[in-house]
């Protein structure tokens, strides 16, 4: 492994994706897929102002005490979740993914995380009129045990590579990969997926459409973030296959198992007062099912063999045809190209 | 586990009790497994839940099994009807006439209808036929229960069952019990439904039953602009969908003589309109909606096209308004010829909005001397295309075709200035007259069997529909003076069509086949002809509509003749023409094809004239999310032993396409193509072929999953050249989509990347290849037109 003492401008010379340095070369482009991701992400641009929360307030008034508890915990989780991801992106990912096109994507992702933070802030300001309660929502990472435990999990993995300035050794790279996998598979891929399930559960009951439509867009972005992270992982796997050994596999499994437990105890808290149609047992099964999928994406045998118990999540996998008169749509593309002509096929 | 009963007592959950309740409704649904519904319901329950929660959960649980077996949708529908019926019964309502009496006491039902029902109680009560509930699918009846059934003002409990509701709608429009029962039977067979405002309001104390209002542009002065805000708010409050032009109002930079200042243009005024529309809550159901029309010579056209962008200064964005271009042929010709285009301030050429055809062209050319700005016509057209691609908005509607091919423009000064919120209504209006239209749609699927169209049944449906559409005009409550000035004079109605795709599936006609186009044209001709015959009959009894003398029909010109179209039934046309010469017409306009999203879901058919968007998709509405499966395809797959979990998963993975389902013969895959897979040229050709038999217009959506300016500009030029009066949304799909959460990860996805030499990972698609990873675009539709 080469070690260099100053940022490398690797013009015309090949290096691996995780080799330390500051590659500035976009032509020839080494990872065009990252660049495609960047361009696709731009087409998904949305703004918080487009999300209409007006009907949510009426819905909130209709919720049972148990459902209100669920929503308030959820909002408290959302209050800080994306900020944590953004911090890891800046502190760790951007530093070590040594590809200018990869960094383009990460820059875009950072913008999206900022929009998500703004969206959830707007949500909180709308849902929680009381200032003390708002403050409490941001303090949830410290005060609400079920959220604190998830936060602790995240911080531990941020800290695990925080001191790493350069990925010089095999151990450094392994540590970095674990951090990346943690954020892709466990935090965005499991914690957020768990949270989205509650939102979509409520929507399947016709509740909180504003939250759900914003979540649709957040979910779409998060799907891209995960896809990009898995691109990076697969690229590293192709470049440095020996990093993906049995030890790595065992560590990833242990990490996901812990993430599932973190999320299950969060579910038990959210659902403790009884919500008809969503039991903690079903939620556990769902989370295990999602964890298995993350493992499959990493080429690792599933741990649980659980099936998705939530029919309303299957609804997320099919094309949406919403009545736009009722709500806004998340499907239009931004950034259309071409010039006027009259003989194109259509 | 225990449930809490209504009297507060706890009792253990009994799986057998749920099984028995499900079995009671399963009846002919042989693929339904009651035990499965019962156990799944209990899994989702918590200790101490109420029995009402248990009932609701069992309905939801049944509905959620629809993806595996469409019969569960019917089961869920029946469980829901039973739940609703119990809610009604629990308030002491055991018959239709009692629900009307109760509703009247609560201040919901109008006096006239209450009296009418009281007089005919026995006959009407006997007419209620609960077996019609068996026709409903879950999404339809859920929509009815959540939004259409009248509710107690305080308790919010429903006070009518679905069948009571339809009979109430019929009674609100009838003068005899026999008439009411006939109309009720037609609606409850789901062969025809009036549009939502009629379904909401007929028989109630607020009988605003019209769907569409077309408001002329404010005059170029402040008072007129604020009058329009007021009018729009009134119309919106009573559930109308609004089209409003803004072409007469001066643009940015124009001089204001009164103050010697300059105008800020139309954008700030539209921003105010946007806020006004959003503030009005339509009958407690939803926010209002409006579409603003602008002609392309207006100096603010470029800012107008940016109103829906999601970037830029929010003060210049209108998130609630829809936008449409009202395009003279001269503009399209200059686009084609790559000519220049002048932007002209309306204060310099105030007559332009009132002119069309050659008169417009002469006036426009004369006014070009005073142009505020000159642009390349193609550049502006390209901007329009970009707006369509990015927002779906900025509909392309054609001023000259609309006016040239209208029955209402027979006398000078009668000009169509815009279309409506869904681009299917084209009616003259003015400063003093706001055009109004009430709508209804025939479910063509209910008139077709594998042997073909039941023409006699179709004719009977059209005749009944026209009578009741006409009836609305007299009973209707008009929320504005301008609307009241227009509608009784012109008496236009809009009879539409839904379930065209159902008919094509039943007859196994690919959407883009010649046979499909011929059938759609023949059906439209039959509908229009029968509607004209019905309107003559009404004219013979009640006289022609007061403005009849101003129409082209009065000069002996009927709509197909304006087109120079070939006639399938020339003898009937001659006959009806002779009758019209003798009696006139009761209605100046008869046909308009509205989008029908809501009523099509109540009827359980595909929307209006649209191809299916997917074999598998979900609807998201205020009521929740609903999986919709192409039951024609399911039947086909079942017959071939292919309705299996792996095949279902493949369809889901393919976003509802069966193009790659190699087990199906090519002609079957061709039949079940989606809107994204059809050539859009065919959609335009079908629309153009039926257009001579539509005297207003049609809400024609076009679908491009990955639009480019080149494709769009070609497509819309073709639409214009085909003679279409209007187009509606451009539907597109997002660049990437949400990662599928329940479709199995493909083995290939989990495989390591192929080699270091190909870092682009060109090999197997990873977790979300954008090519297949698309979510359907869904357009904003106006409920009023549904």
Summarize pLDDT for B63-74 with one digit per residue, the tens.
999 988 999 999
Cβ contact, residue pair B740, A220, below 8 Å:
no
Per CB-CB distance under 8 Å, the chain B contacts of A14 are: none
Q: Is there a contact between A203 and B625 if contact means CB atoms under 8 Å apart?
A: yes
Distance of CA A97 to the CA centre of its chain: 18
How many Cβ atoms sit within 10 Å of the Cβ of residue B223?
A: 9
Whether the per-residue pLDDT at A111 is higher than 90: the answer is: yes
Instruction: Give the pLDDT mean for B279-293.
Output: 77
The 10s digit of each residue's pLDDT in B436-490 is 999 999 999 999 999 999 999 999 999 999 999 999 999 999 999 999 999 999 9
Cis peptide before A28 (omega within 30 of 0): yes
Residues A108 and B237: their CA atoms lie apart, in Å, by 43
Question: Mean pLDDT in chain B?
Answer: 91
Chain A, nearest residue to B775 by Cα: A319
CB B251 within 8 A of CB B299: yes
Interface A-B: count of C-beta contacts within 8 A: 317
Task: Examine the pLDDT at B286 and tell me if it is beyond 70.
Answer: no
Q: How confident is the model at residue B523 (pLDDT cuts 50, 70, 90)?
A: very high
- In this structure, chain B runs to a length of 786
User: Average of pLDDT values for A260-284?
Assistant: 95
Query: Cα(B58)–Cα(B45) distance, rounded to whole angstroms?
Result: 10
Lowest mean pLDDT among A292-296, B244-248, B756-760: B756-760
Local structure of residue B556 (DSSP, 8 states): T
The encoded tokens of residue B247 equal 């072409």
Indicate which of B393, B682, B738, B785 best probes the interface with A, i.e. most A CBs within 10 Å of its own CB: B738
Q: Please, which residues have CB within 8 angstroms of residue A166's CB and are 6 or more apart in sequence?
A: A3, A20, A172
- For A43-47, B46-50, B197-201, B516-520, which range has the lowest pLDDT when averaged over its residues? A43-47
pLDDT at B597 over 50: yes
Give the other-Cβ count within 10 Å of B413's Cβ: 9
Nearest neighbour of B752 by CB, restricted to A231, A234, A282: A234
Positions of E strands within B537-661: 616-621, 624-629
- Bridge-based pairing of strands B493-498 and B702-703 is unpaired
Q: What pLDDT does B742 receive? A: 67
Kindly state the average pLDDT of the residues B92-119: 98
- Angle of CA points B63, A202, B143, to nearest 5°: 50
B775: left (phi over 0), alpha (psi -120 to 50) or beta: beta
The Cα of A101 is separated from the nearest Cα of chain B by a number of Å equal to: 12
What are the tokens at A290? Answer: 């999602």
H helices present in B90-217, as ranges: 96-105, 111-119, 121-127, 138-143, 162-172, 177-188, 196-201
Contact between B58 and B131 under an 8 Å Cβ cutoff? The reply is: no
B752 and A50 within 8 Å at the Cβ level: the answer is no
- Say yes or no: A279 contacts chain B, CB-CB below 8 A: yes
Q: Determine the residue among B46, B284, B422 to mutate to test chain A binding: the one whose Cβ has the most chain A Cβ atoms within 10 Å.
A: B46
Phi/psi at B129 (nearest 5 deg)?
Answer: -125, 100
Chain B residues near residue A206 by CB distance under 8 angstroms? 146, 621-624
> Which structure tokens are listed for A301?
């045998």
List residues bridging with B495 in a β-sheet: B440, B591
Quote the tokens at residue B705.
């999953």
Q: A336 to chain B: nearest residue by CA?
A: B708
- Set B424, B610, B636, B655: catalytic member: B424
Residues near A106 by beta carbon (within 8 Å), at least 6 away in sequence: A89, A93, A94, A97, A228
**Distance of alpha carbon B627 from alpha carbon B648, whole angstroms:** 13
Q: Looking at B26-35, B57-66, B617-626, which range is the least confident one?
A: B617-626
Q: Which residues of A are less than 8 Å from B734 in CB distance?
A: 43-44, 220, 330-333
Judge whether residue B163 has pLDDT over 60.
Answer: yes
Q: Are A193 and B767 in contact (CB under 8 A)?
A: no
Pick from A182-186, A201-205, B130-134, B494-498: least confident:
A201-205
Residue B113 has pLDDT above 80, yes or no: yes
Answer yes or no: do B750 and A279 touch at CB < 8 A.
no
Nearest to A319 among B714, B745, B775 (CB): B775
Q: How far is B555 from chain A (nearest CA, A)?
A: 39
Binding-face residues of A in 94-153 toward B, CB within 8 A? none
Give the Cβ contact number of residue B402 at 10 Å: 26
* Residue A36 near chain B (CB below 8 Å): yes
Active-site residue B422, yes or no?
yes
pLDDT above 70: percentage of residues in chain B? 92
What number is the average pLDDT over the span B77-106? 97
- According to DSSP, the residues that pair with B50 across neighbouring strands are B4
| Distances in whole angstroms, Cα of residue B610 to Cα of each of B600, B650, B776 | 11, 25, 15
Residue B511 has pLDDT above 80, yes or no: yes
Chain B touched by A337 (CB under 8 Å): yes
- Has residue B754 got a pLDDT over 60? no
C-alpha distances out from residue B720 to A159, B331, B337, B698, Å: 62, 11, 15, 14
pLDDT of residue B259 exceeding 70 = yes
Assess B310–A contact: CB distance below 8 Å, yes or no.
Answer: yes
CB distance from B741 to chain A under 8 Å? Answer: yes
Contacts of A95 (CB under 8 A, 6+ apart): A165
Q: What share of residues in chain A are helix, strand, coil (percent, to 5)?
A: 65, 0, 30
Which residues of chain A have a CB within 8 Å of the CB of B287? 54
Residue of A206, A322, A338 with shortest CB distance to B709: A338
What pTM did the predictor assign?
0.85
Strands B286-287 and B281-282: antiparallel
- Residue B63: which of A135, A228, A311, A114 has the closest Cα? A311
- Residues of B with Cβ-Cβ distance to A234 under 8 angstroms: 752-753, 761, 766
In terms of CA atoms, which chain A residue is nearest residue B65?
Answer: A311
Question: Coil, helix or strand for B731?
Answer: strand
Q: Is B619 on the interface with A (CB under 8 A)?
A: yes
Integer angstrom CA distances of residue B385 from A97, B298, B364: 38, 17, 24
Specify the pLDDT at position A44. 82
What residues contact B467, with CB distance under 8 A and at least 6 apart? B534, B538
For B669-697, the pLDDT digits (tens) are: 999 999 999 999 999 999 999 999 999 99
A contact residues 229-248, partner B, Cβ 8 Å cutoff = 230-231, 234-235, 237-239, 241, 244
For B765: left if phi > 0, alpha if psi spans -120 to 50, otherwise beta; the answer is: beta
Q: What is the predicted pLDDT for the residue at B746? A: 55
Q: Which pLDDT score, from 0 to 100, does residue B777 have?
A: 31
Could you say which of B403, B414, B420, B487 is catalytic? B420
Three-state DSSP class for residue B464: helix
Name the residues of A annotated as catalytic. 120
Residue B175: exposed, middle, or buried by beta-carbon count in 10 A (0-12, 13-18, 19+)?
exposed
**Which tens digits make up the pLDDT trace of A287-316?**
999 999 999 999 999 999 999 999 888 777
Give the three-class secondary structure for B27: coil
Residue with tokens 């409050």: B237
pLDDT band at B375 (very low <50, low <70, confident <90, very high): very high
Using left for φ > 0, alpha for ψ between -120 and 50, and beta otherwise, residue B265 falls in left
The DSSP bridge partners found for residue B243 are B214, B291
CA B66 to chain centre: 25
Q: Which helix (H) or strand (E) holds A331?
A: none
Residue A4 has pLDDT above 50, yes or no: no
Distance from CA of B37 to the nearest CA of A (A): 13
Question: Which residues have CB under 8 Å from B221's CB, separation 6+?
Answer: none
C-alpha of B735 from chain center: 26
Which pair of tokens denotes residue B279?
A: 């503030």
Contact (CB<8Å) A344/B710: yes
pLDDT-wise least confident of A26-35, A330-339, B231-240, B295-304 = A330-339
B648-655 average pLDDT score: 90
**What are the pLDDT digits (tens) for B735-745?**
666 667 666 66
Q: Does B336 touch chain A (CB under 8 A)?
A: yes
- A240 token code pair: 């440095």
Q: How close B744 gets to chain A, by Cα (Å)?
A: 8
A208, A332, A334, A342: which to substitute to probe chain B, counting the most B Cβ within 10 Å? Answer: A332
């Amino acid at each position: 492994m080469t070690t260099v003492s100053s940022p490398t401008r690797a013009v015309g010379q090949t290096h691996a994706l995780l080799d330390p340095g500051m590659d500035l070369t976009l032509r020839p482009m080494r990872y065009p897929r990252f660049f495609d991701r960047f361009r696709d992400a731009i087409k998904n641009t949305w703004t918080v102002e487009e999300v209409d929360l007006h009907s949510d307030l009426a819905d909130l008034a209709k919720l049972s005490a148990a459902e209100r508890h669920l929503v308030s915990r959820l909002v408290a989780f959302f209050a800080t979740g994306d900020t944590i991801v953004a911090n890891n992106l800046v502190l760790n990912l951007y530093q070590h993914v040594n590809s200018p096109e990869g960094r383009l994507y990460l820059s875009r992702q950072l913008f999206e995380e900022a929009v998500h933070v703004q969206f959830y802030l707007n949500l909180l300001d709308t849902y929680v009129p009381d200032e003390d309660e708002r403050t409490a929502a941001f303090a949830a990472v410290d005060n609400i045990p079920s959220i604190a435990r998830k936060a602790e999990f995240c911080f531990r993995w941020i800290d695990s590579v925080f001191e790493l300035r350069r990925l010089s050794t095999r151990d450094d790279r392994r540590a970095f990969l674990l951090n990346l996998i943690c954020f892709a598979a466990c935090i965005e891929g499991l914690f957020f997926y768990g949270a989205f399930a509650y939102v979509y559960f409520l929507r399947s009951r016709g509740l909180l459409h504003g939250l759900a439509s914003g979540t649709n867009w957040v979910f779409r972005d998060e799907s891209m973030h995960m896809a990009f992270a898995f691109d990076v992982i697969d690229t590293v796997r192709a470049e440095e296959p020996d990093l993906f050994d049995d030890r790595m596999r065992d560590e990833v499994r242990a990490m996901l198992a812990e993430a599932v437990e973190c999320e299950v105890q969060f579910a038990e808290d959210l659902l403790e007062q009884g919500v008809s149609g969503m039991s903690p047992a079903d939620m556990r099964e769902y989370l295990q099912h999602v964890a298995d999928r993350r493992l499959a994406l990493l080429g690792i045998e599933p741990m649980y063999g659980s099936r998705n118990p939530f029919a309303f999540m299957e609804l997320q996998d099919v094309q949406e045809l919403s009545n736009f008169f009722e709500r806004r749509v998340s499907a239009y593309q931004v950034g259309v190209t071409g010039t006027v002509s009259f003989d194109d096929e259509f | 586990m225990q449930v809490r009963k209504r009297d507060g007592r706890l009792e253990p959950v009994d799986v057998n009790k749920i099984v028995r309740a499900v079995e009671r409704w399963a009846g002919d649904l042989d693929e339904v497994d009651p035990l499965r519904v019962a156990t799944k319901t209990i899994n989702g329950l918590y200790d101490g839940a109420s029995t009402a929660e248990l009932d609701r959960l069992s309905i939801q649980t049944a509905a959620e099994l629809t993806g595996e077996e469409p019969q569960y949708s019917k089961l869920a529908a029946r469980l829901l009807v039973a739940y609703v019926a119990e809610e009604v019964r629990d308030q002491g309502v055991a018959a239709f006439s009692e629900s009307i009496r109760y509703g009247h006491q609560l201040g919901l039902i109008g006096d006239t209808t209450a009296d009418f029902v009281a007089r005919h109680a026995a006959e009407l009560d006997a007419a209620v036929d609960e077996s019609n509930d068996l026709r409903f699918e879950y999404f339809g009846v859920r929509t009815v229960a959540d939004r259409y059934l009248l509710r107690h003002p305080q308790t919010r409990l429903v006070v009518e069952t679905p069948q009571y509701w339809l009979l109430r709608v019929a009674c609100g429009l009838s003068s005899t019990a026999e008439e009411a029962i006939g109309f009720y039977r037609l609606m409850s067979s789901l062969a025809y439904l009036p549009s939502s405002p009629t379904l909401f309001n007929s028989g109630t104390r607020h009988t605003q039953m019209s769907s569409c209002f077309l408001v002329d542009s404010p005059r170029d002065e402040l008072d007129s602009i604020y009058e329009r805000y007021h009018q729009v708010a009134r119309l919106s409050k009573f559930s109308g969908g609004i089209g409003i032009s803004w072409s007469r109002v001066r643009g940015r930079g124009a001089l204001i003589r009164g103050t010697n200042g300059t105008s800020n243009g139309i954008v700030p005024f539209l921003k105010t309109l946007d806020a006004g529309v959003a503030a009005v809550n339509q009958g407690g159901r939803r926010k209002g909606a409006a579409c603003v029309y602008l002609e392309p010579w207006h100096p603010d056209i470029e800012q107008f096209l940016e109103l829906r962008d999601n970037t830029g200064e929010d003060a210049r964005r209108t998130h609630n308004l829809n936008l449409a271009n009202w395009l003279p042929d001269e503009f399209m010709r200059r686009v084609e010829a790559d000519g220049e285009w002048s932007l002209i301030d309306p204060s310099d050429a105030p007559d332009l909005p009132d002119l069309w055809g050659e008169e417009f062209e002469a006036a426009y050319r004369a006014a070009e001397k005073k142009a505020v700005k000159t642009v390349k016509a193609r550049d502006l057209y390209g901007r329009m295309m970009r707006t369509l691609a990015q927002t779906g908005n900025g509909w392309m509607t054609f001023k000259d075709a609309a006016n040239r091919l209208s029955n209402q423009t027979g006398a000078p000064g009668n000009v169509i200035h815009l279309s409506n919120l869904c681009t299917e209504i084209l009616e003259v209006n003015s400063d003093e007259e706001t055009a109004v239209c009430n709508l209804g749609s025939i479910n063509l699927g209910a008139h077709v069997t594998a042997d073909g169209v039941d023409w006699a049944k179709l004719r009977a449906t059209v005749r009944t529909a026209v009578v009741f559409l006409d009836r609305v005009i007299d009973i209707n409550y008009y929320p504005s003076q301008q609307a009241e000035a227009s509608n009784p004079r012109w008496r236009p109605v809009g009879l539409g069509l839904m379930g065209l795709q159902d008919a094509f599936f039943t007859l196994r006609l690919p959407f883009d086949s010649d046979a499909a186009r011929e059938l759609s044209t023949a059906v439209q001709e039959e509908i229009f002809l029968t509607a004209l015959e019905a309107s003559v009959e009404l004219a013979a009894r009640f006289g022609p509509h007061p403005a009849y003398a101003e129409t082209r029909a009065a000069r002996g010109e009927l709509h197909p003749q304006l087109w120079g179209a070939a006639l399938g039934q020339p003898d009937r046309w001659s006959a009806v023409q002779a009758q019209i010469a003798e009696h006139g017409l009761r209605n100046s306009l008869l046909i308009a094809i509205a989008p029908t999203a809501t009523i099509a879901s109540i009827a359980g058919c595909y929307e209006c004239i649209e191809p299916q968007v997917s074999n598998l998709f979900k609807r998201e509405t205020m009521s929740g999310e609903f999986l919709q499966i192409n039951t024609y395809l399911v039947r086909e797959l079942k017959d071939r032993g292919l309705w299996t979990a792996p095949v279902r998963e493949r369809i889901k993975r393919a976003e509802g396409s069966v193009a790659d389902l190699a087990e199906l013969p090519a002609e079957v895959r061709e039949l079940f193509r989606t809107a994204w897979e059809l050539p859009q040229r065919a959609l335009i050709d079908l629309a153009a072929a039926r257009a001579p038999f539509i005297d207003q217009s049609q809400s024609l959506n076009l679908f491009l999953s990955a639009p480019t300016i080149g494709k769009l500009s070609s497509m819309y030029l073709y639409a214009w050249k085909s003679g279409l009066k209007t187009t509606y949304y451009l539907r597109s799909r997002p660049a990437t989509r949400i990662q599928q959460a329940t479709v199995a990860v493909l083995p290939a996805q989990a495989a390591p990347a192929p080699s270091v030499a190909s870092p682009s990972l060109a090999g197997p698609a990873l977790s979300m290849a954008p090519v297949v990873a698309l979510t359907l675009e869904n357009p904003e539709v106006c409920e009023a037109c549904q």
